[in-house]
Structures are given as C-alpha cells and as structure tokens.
Structure 1
C-alpha cells in the first residue's frame, strides 16, 4: 500500500482515501505481544483463522474494514464498501453488524463503570465483538483507558463465549458450573 498506484486504486474503489494509519495500527495490534497479552492474542488469532466455508478469512475482512473504517457520520459505510468489493453475503453481514454495534461500544467507552451496558453488549455482539473491539483499539491505540477497557471486554468475551454464543437450552449444567 506504500505504492501510490495501490492507494489511488483503493481510493477509486472506496470513493474516499483509505485509512492507512488504521491498518498500520491494526497490524501492530495483531503482531506485537506487548499490546495484547499472549493468551488473549492466541485466542484472537484462532478467532480470525480462515473459515472452511469462506474464501476470505475474518483476519482479511478485518484488515479491509480497518482500511475503510472512519468515525460514524462519514458517507461511506462498511457494508456499502463490502458490496462494492463484491464480498460474500456473510462478510457483508459481519460488516453491517460491526457498523450497528460500534456506536454501542462508544457508549461503553464513555461510561466504563456501567456493567449492564457491558453485559448487554457481550450478548448482542457475539462473535463480532472481537472485530469491533480490535477496530476501536486500532482507532484509539494511544488512549490507555479505552485500550484497557477493550482488552478487558475481549478477555470477558473469550471467558464466557460458550455461554454467549449458544442459546441457554444448549448449555448443560456441567458447563455452567465450570464457568
């Protein structure tokens, strides 16, 4: 992307200048173990692995989202950019969920002590919590308070993901006792 022709091509596709700084910060997040704890980084890497059904991994989709991601209120949305790029329906659905849930995550950052907001967000965001949190971390990498909150949310998500991702009927009593 250092090549100016690649930047021009991306600008033509997106209709706006790609957010290269976001992508650089995301790459730092995903590669540097000083930012994310090692055990959390391993779980994130596993989450972002390639899906057997999809041609594009969640990691690649996250990088695309980081390139197009600008604060809400901009003309281009993630899902419309996904449609322009002719991504699959499932990837566009993920992008749409990230768009919808990002403002809720900003509310959590504004009032970090509100545990009810955190719990509601964990339940509502499900698998996309990882992508949304990483995007916010990449956008606000220098803000220590929001970084700590995002890392805490990610840890909580992976700790309780077996309860969050399955309907209550499918969780056995033994699993509840373990958690």
Structure 2
C-alpha cells in the first residue's frame, strides 16, 4: 500500500490536478496499449521503414526492448482473444481499449496472430542471450511485417 501511495504522490506532483492516462504513463515510463496498436498497424501495412522508426522512437523514450517485445506478444494474444466473443472475458482492458482491440482484431487473421505470437515469443526467449538486442527486435519486427507480404515471397518461390 505504501508503494501505491508513493507512486500516486509522484504522479500527482508531476501532473498536478489534471491526471490523465497519458500523463501517468509518461511519468511512470510505461508502454500502453496505444503504442502496440500503432506498431501492429504498421506491421499489418508491411511498413518496415516506419516500423523501425517507431521502434527507434520507443527506445529513445527510454523503454526497454525486452519489455517491448514481451508486450507485443501479449498484444497479439489480446487481439486473438478478441476474435471470439466467448473469450472476450479473458481480455483485461477498459472499454476504450476493448473497442480498439476489436477493430484491430478484425484487420488481422487468426493465422497472422498465431505466427506473430510465436515469432515475438521466440524473440522474448532469445533476448537476454543476444549480443545485439536491438538488432534482434528489429529483425523480429521485419519478420512480423513480412508475414502478410506476398510480393517478395512469390518472387523467391518462382526462382
């Protein structure tokens, strides 16, 4: 309880009387679901350059790459949960977040989400042992963005 009060005091001293979710996440240096929604949109658009720039921005704000990749795997899991009304009770998010998840879940196939969870989870396991953790996460993001990209895959299989 003392820790919670300490965090509350810190946030109030930073934000004053205007407590917002954004101000709290900035003060506590927490990646919220909006980051993951934006990253997933870029992945689904196969926008590798923008994806790498967004990850660079996340790192520049002081967020940890390991926390990021584990959170991305959890985000894909949450999207998978949203695909079936029977499993919606497993989603631990507010109403606004649930709506965003529902919209994004419609854009992503179940196959993409399963592959995404597998790739992100694999990067999570490899993270601590990696000599170049940034490259590991960037490669993971490129692999994720390539799941639904058919152009290069078709060219390679025709050779």
> Is the TM value for this pair above 0.5?
no
Larger relative contact order (Cα-Cα within 8 Å, sequence gap ≥ 6): 2
Name the structure with the higher helix share: 2
TM-score (norm 1): 0.26
